[in-house]
Structure formats: structure tokens, C-alpha cells
Amino acid sequence: MNDIPSLDALREVAAPPLPSVHARVRQRAARRRWLAGAGTLTAIAAGALLVVNANAPTTRDRGLGAAPLVRLEAVAEGSDSPRQLTGGGTVGPEERVVFLARTDRHAWAVLREQDRVVWPSGGAWEIEGESVVGGDTPLSWRPDDRTGPLRYELTACVSPEALASGGPGCTTTSLTLRWSP
């Protein structure tokens, strides 16, 4: 007699029917084929996304030689409390404007109104982060001889040389204000 009783009990158990064994094998094979197909489709979709988004702008650092990101903002000051001006905003007859420049890095800039320079009167204005036109003593601006819509352009460059030549490494942003007489 055998010392292991479980082996005797196992000998009395009948083997599963052959069709049920084949059915389980087919289910496993079908599951593997489905997973392989899903994996292939996922790889194709990921590749397509990489190709489509290859030239999309990103938030990563653009390097030291890249043009700075820049934004021009304006605040009206006068009889009312200071108020933010947006593109096309109207400046009242008793108001003056303070311009703010925002950059993501150190840059040299110039602010122009239509065809003339507003700030600085000569050379380049060194800016970083948030800078106010006029520096430590903010310059409030009102044109003497013009009314109606005027376009203000802020050009920021990686160096004074790039600003002088207007070549690569420069970014320009604009803001239009409507001046009341």
C-alpha cells in the first residue's frame, strides 16, 4: 500500500473531457491574439501622436539663444483709480498710461508707438521678469499730437546687437490703445 493517501485519491479522479481542455486552450490563445492586436494598435497610435506633435510648441526650456517670450501690458492712471487696459482699450482725456513688459528671461527691449520710439530714447532697455517703462521712476505716457487708435510694439531680444539688427533671437508683441482727445 502507498504511504501517500492523496495519490490513491487522485488515481480515482477522472481526467477532464478532451473537448473542455481544447476549449480552454482556444480561449487562452484567443486572449493572447487579442492582447497582441491591442498592443499593436497602441504602438501605432503612439507613433502617430509623436509624428503629429513633433513640431508642436512645448514648455521645456528653449535654450539660451532662443528669443524671449514677451508680453506688453498697460495700466491707465488718472482721475479714476488705476485700471488695466486690454487691446483696443480706450484711454480717457485726463488719463496717462504706464506700460509693463513681462519676459521669461533676461532681454534687451525697445517700446515703439507706430513709427517712433517711446522708451528708451536711445540704446536698449534691459529687462527681466516684470519691468516698468521708465525703470525705477515709472514713465506715464500720453502722446502730445495724436488721438484715435495707436499701435504700441515691444521688441525684446537676447542681446543689444540682435535688437539693433532685428534678426533672430527677437520677439515682438503689440497692443493697440484708443486715445480720446
Task: Provide the pLDDT for residue 5.
Answer: 60
The parts of the chain modelled with pLDDT lower than 50 are 61
Length of the chain as a residue count: 181
Distance, in Å, from the CA atom of 104 to the CA atom of 115, rounded to the nearest integer, reads 26
Pairing mode of beta strands 170-179, 89-91 = parallel
Q: Is 49 left (phi over 0), alpha (psi -120 to 50) or beta?
A: alpha
Return the bridge partners of 174, or none: 153
* Cα 132 from Cα 127, distance rounded (Å): 9
The CATH architecture one would assign to domain 70-179 is: Sandwich (2.60)
Contact 100/109 with Cβ under 8 angstroms? no
